[in-house]
Every structure is written in C-alpha cells, then in structure tokens.
Amino acid sequence: MSENFGGNSFSMKLDEANFADSFGVSLGDLPARCKKLIADKNFEYNVLKGNELESFLVEILKRIDEDTQKIGVEERKDVWERGWRESLDEYVQSNFDIKKLVPKFIRPNQAIRWQQQYILPVADNFELDYVEVLREWLFPAYFSEVDTIHEFGCGTGFNLLALARIYPEKNLIGSDFVPASVELVNKIAEKQSLNLRGHIFDMIQPNENYEVAENSGVLTFGSLEQLAGKFENFIDFLLRKKPEICVHIEPTIELYDENVLSDYLAIRFQSKRGYTKGLLPHLSDLASQGNIELLKVKRLNFGSQMMEGYNLMVWRPVKV
C-alpha cells in the first residue's frame, strides 16, 4: 500500500499486494488483466478521521435508525420488477449502452469501507473499479473448467457481460425471479450477440425442472442476501443438481467483529434490513456432514457505505 503526501493532504492507494491480500491469494495468482486494471484505475483514497469521521458516523447512525426497508417481503418483488424494468428502459433508450447495466446499488462518489475503516475515494467509481478487478480474478479462478455458468439472481446482467467477455465460448444462463430482469438479459444477448439466455427462477421455491447441465458452475452476487434467510431450499436444489462449483459473493454477517465500531454498525444495519444470515454456518454444517467441500471462505474487507456486500464462499457438492 503506497502513501502519498501533498501539502496538508494524506492519501493512500490500493496496489497489487492489497488486492491479492483481499482475495486471499499470492501476487502470482492475479491475472495480467487484473494487474493492468489496478495500474490503469485510480485507487487513491483518504481515511476518514477526526471531526470528519465523527460527522460521518452520526449520519450512519441516523440512517440505521430511520431505515424502514425490509428484505424478503412480498412487496419487494414489485420493487425489483420496477427497478429492473427501469434498467431495461434505460438500456434501450441509450441505444444499448452497457454502462446503463451497472447496478444502482454500486453508487459512485461516496465514502466506503476498506479494512474496517471508512475511506473517501479520490475517484468517483472506486467501488465499481474494485468490482471489475475482483471479477477479473474470480471468474478465471473458478469457472475456467466448466462449460456452462448459471448466475442466479442476475439482475441487470452486469456480471454475465463480464463473463461473456472472458468466456465467449461458454454457455451463460441468467436467472431471476422477476420478468423484467429476464427480458433485459435476453435483450443484452440479442444486441451484444452473446451466448446467453435468461430464465425465470425463484430461489425460495426452486423449480426442479430447471436444468443445470453437466459440468456447470453457479454464481450468486448479492442475490442470496435478498432471501431474508430463506436460502435452504436453494442450497438443497444445488445439492441435487450437483454443479461442479458454486461461488457466492454475498454479505456475511458472521465475518464481522462486533467489537470493531464499523463492523458493529454494519451488523446493526444488516440485521435491521433482514439480509441473509446463517448461510456460512449452514455451508459449514454441510461440509462437516460430508455433503459438500467448502473450498474457500474469505472476507474481502471491502464494502459500500453501510455494509460489506463482498465476501467470498466457494463450495461444491460431494458426488457419490
């Protein structure tokens, strides 16, 4: 991590070693494109301190106290349908500009979390740029050997576009529980000429007729969090379908340290919203029972303003 001083300002910058540490790998495990992105993007930031930090913490506490959103309730389905319909309309009206597919929960120009501190990035798109680097490592690390990749809860198709660029030859399937998302994915496939198709799929009530082809990989990226703890049917579905690899990037409340203030506030926020908890203990139990191999659990120590939505769990079903 490099440090830069200029006048009275003090800033730091993420480098290759920081990303490797965040992902839990060696520097040699970072692909060349990862390293190029790290070099090309501006990962400078300032740590919030003193009065600036105190004011920020007050705002965080107010947001937690005033927040009324609940995850996993019936009315949220309409919210997601409207949200992805808006993204579809924006994509079409922009003459199919893929920049319109960046999910709105990745917000530019705001303080975010890094290594249990609140930081203020110099560049507006710091969080999005981090996610781009993450995917350039993650997807080759776990999906290089599969023929088909399923993303469940695919939203705008944001991750599927990245997968299609890395693996144009693979079969890509995006599934979501609202029609607008599926329409958007199929429109992307049409306009970008991708080997991609969308399907309706409800992770809380999985359709047993949904086909997970032989030699498939599974991805969730901030979608299991929306199930409000009702994830067991989906995990059981995957155990029956037996994909080669399952990769989850999700908020994981069990990885926080409640004795650290930033973590404690994230625990409060996630608990109040009702974001999924218990997934990691459930996977650990399945591993101890010999039903799955739990290959990796890694807190990336990176997140948005209110919580860390980027933690890694990787597993595969045991095939008898």
User: pLDDT by residue (tens digit) across 161-218?
Assistant: 999 999 999 999 999 999 999 999 999 999 999 999 999 999 999 999 999 999 999 9
Residue 6: pLDDT band with limits 50, 70, 90: very low
Residue 10 has a pLDDT of 57
Mean pLDDT of the chain: 94
Contacts of 78 (CB under 8 A, 6+ apart): none
Mean pLDDT across 54-79: 88
Residue 260 has a pLDDT of 98
- Indicate the pairing of strand 311-317 with strand 245-249: antiparallel
pLDDT above 60 (res 160): yes
Residue 294 has a pLDDT of 98
Mean pLDDT across 267-274: 94
Q: How far, in Å, CA of 136 to CA of 31, rounded?
A: 7
Residue 220 has a pLDDT of 98
Residue 104 has a pLDDT of 85
- CA of residue 12 relative to chain centroid, distance: 24
Residue 3: pLDDT band with limits 50, 70, 90: very low
Residue 76: pLDDT band with limits 50, 70, 90: confident
CATH number of 2-317: 3.40.50.150
Residue 143: pLDDT band with limits 50, 70, 90: very high
pLDDT above 70 (res 230): yes
pLDDT above 70 (res 5): no
Mean pLDDT across 43-56: 96
- pTM for the structure as a whole: 0.94
Mean pLDDT across 45-61: 96
pLDDT above 60 (res 267): yes
Q: pLDDT higher for 216 or 106?
A: 216
Mean pLDDT across 65-85: 85
Mean pLDDT across 86-93: 95
Residue 214 has a pLDDT of 94
- Indicate the pairing of strand 171-176 with strand 117-121: unpaired
Mean pLDDT across 265-271: 96
Our CA angle for 134, 137, 141, nearest 5°, is 135
> Which tokens sit at 46?
């300032």
9-23: pLDDT as tens digits: 458 999 999 999 999
pLDDT above 70 (res 301): yes
